[in-house]
């Protein structure tokens, strides 16, 4: 029994070291986006989809493509456009003249990592097809349902500076994303390194495969075993309820701006994400700091503010930060 326990702990340690290797391999290609890589891995290891928002040119697509290579996962990029059809996403039935029968032609959604580039440019029917894949891990073609290969993760991007020709994502779909990650500009030193690399036309970089699919499933199980105390579980619930009834938590300044607080999915996602943060930090228990570190990414996109907030330039991130300051750990 002791030997089995030792072996299990050794496996955990091995996986934690491999995660550090993943960051190093990503650094060979992607400069200065460790935060984004961290959040993508948390989503992958907790079975949660990620919405990335940032201006063009911040290596969002490059990061996801490189991550797929490092993890040896099937990768597909789908450019969302206003004329995209659901069949362009999930596939369709085609007629085979030689067999005189209809056959299924699967779409690009049948991959492990799916990059939905500029996801807010597609109409409602495409969003509905994507929603089924995200939530149910399956798609419907004709009258038959097909399970998607696991692990399955949607990494969607949207551009915050362009609104022409875009369709606002439905609240129900936004809620399906475990986290919304804001990708910021690089530091001066990092941008200098990017410029030097990309200005050298002969520069090439290859990455090694670090994790297998089985490793990913094993890491998911290990993160699930990370302990979180009842006190911190209640703290998560208090944070969630503070977004729904801010006046009860001495947040009256924000109460006038709130339309809807976060859904129950937020408490589940916050619990899982905090466990992943602890696991990455090589601990088997969650600290309050783990919850606070990830809270903004998990909660901000689920809070819906009214038009008065927009007029007063009040952001959901400001609201969540105020919640973290006011809600005590008891």
107 upstream amide cis, omega within 30 of 0:
no
The per-residue pLDDT for 4 is: 60
* Residue matched to tokens 């809270």: 295
pLDDT, average across residues 166-170: 72
Distance between CA atoms of 173 and 65, rounded to whole angstroms?
23
Greatest mean pLDDT among 140-149, 170-179, 288-297 lies in: 288-297
Which CATH fold would you assign to the domain 2-197? Answer: Rossmann fold (3.40.50)
* Residue matched to tokens 């032609």: 105
Of residues 16 and 122, more confidently modeled: 16
Distance between CA atoms of 16 and 22, rounded to whole angstroms?
10
Contact in structure between 75 and 115 (CB atoms under 8 Å): yes
Q: Is the pLDDT of residue 101 over 90?
A: no
* Alpha carbon 302 to chain centroid, angstroms: 14
Of residues 269 and 99, more confidently modeled: 269
The per-residue pLDDT for 103 is: 81
Contact in structure between 108 and 87 (CB atoms under 8 Å): no
Q: Is the pLDDT of residue 165 over 80?
A: no
Contact in structure between 104 and 141 (CB atoms under 8 Å): yes
Label the pairing between strands 49-53 and 153-158: parallel
Q: Is the pLDDT of residue 1 over 80?
A: no
Q: Is the pLDDT of residue 128 over 90?
A: no
Q: Which CATH number fits domain 227-326: 3.50.50.60, 1.10.274.10, 1.10.8.80, 3.40.50.261?
A: 1.10.8.80
pLDDT, average across residues 199-226: 90
Q: Is the pLDDT of residue 31 over 70?
A: yes
Q: Is the pLDDT of residue 40 over 90?
A: yes
Mean pLDDT estimate for the chain: 89
Of residues 294 and 252, more confidently modeled: 294
- CATH 3.40.50.300 domain extents, the chain: 2-197
- CATH 1.10.8.80 domain extents, the chain: 227-326
pLDDT, average across residues 207-221: 93
Q: Is the pLDDT of residue 109 over 90?
A: yes
Q: Is the pLDDT of residue 233 over 80?
A: yes
């Amino acid at each position: 029994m002791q030997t089995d326990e030792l072996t299990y702990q050794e496996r955990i340690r091995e996986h934690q070291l491999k995660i550090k290797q993943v960051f190093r391999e990503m650094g060979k290609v992607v400069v200065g986006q460790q935060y984004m890589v961290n959040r993508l891995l948390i989503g992958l290891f907790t079975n949660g989809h990620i919405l990335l928002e940032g201006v063009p040119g911040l290596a969002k697509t490059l990061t996801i493509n490189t991550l797929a290579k490092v993890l040896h996962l099937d990768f597909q990029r789908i450019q969302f456009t206003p004329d995209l059809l659901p069949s362009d996403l999930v596939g369709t039935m085609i007629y085979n003249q030689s067999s005189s029968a209809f056959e299924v032609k699967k779409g690009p959604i049948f991959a492990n990592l799916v990059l939905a580039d500029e996801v807010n440019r597609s109409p409602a029917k495409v969003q509905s097809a994507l929603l089924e894949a995200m939530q149910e891990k399956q798609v419907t073609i004709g009258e038959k349902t097909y399970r998607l290969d696991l692990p399955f993760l949607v990494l969607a991007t949207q551009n915050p500076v362009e609104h022409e020709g875009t369709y606002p994502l439905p609240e129900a779909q936004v809620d399906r994303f475990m986290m919304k990650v804001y990708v910021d500009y690089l530091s001066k030193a990092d941008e200098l390194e990017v410029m030097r690399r990309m200005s050298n036309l002969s520069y090439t970089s290859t990455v090694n495969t670090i994790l297998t699919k089985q490793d990913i499933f094993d890491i998911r199980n290990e993160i699930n075993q990370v302990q979180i105390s009842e006190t911190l579980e209640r703290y998560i619930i208090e944070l969630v309820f503070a977004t729904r009834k801010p006046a009860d938590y001495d947040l009256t300044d924000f109460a006038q701006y709130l339309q809807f607080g976060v859904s129950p999915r937020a408490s589940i996602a916050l619990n899982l994400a905090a466990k992943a943060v602890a696991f990455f930090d090589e601990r088997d228990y969650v600290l309050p700091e783990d919850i606070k570190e990830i809270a903004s990414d998990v909660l901000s996109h689920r809070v819906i503010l009214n038009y008065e907030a927009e007029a007063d330039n009040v952001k959901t991130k400001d609201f969540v930060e105020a919640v973290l300051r006011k809600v005590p750990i008891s």
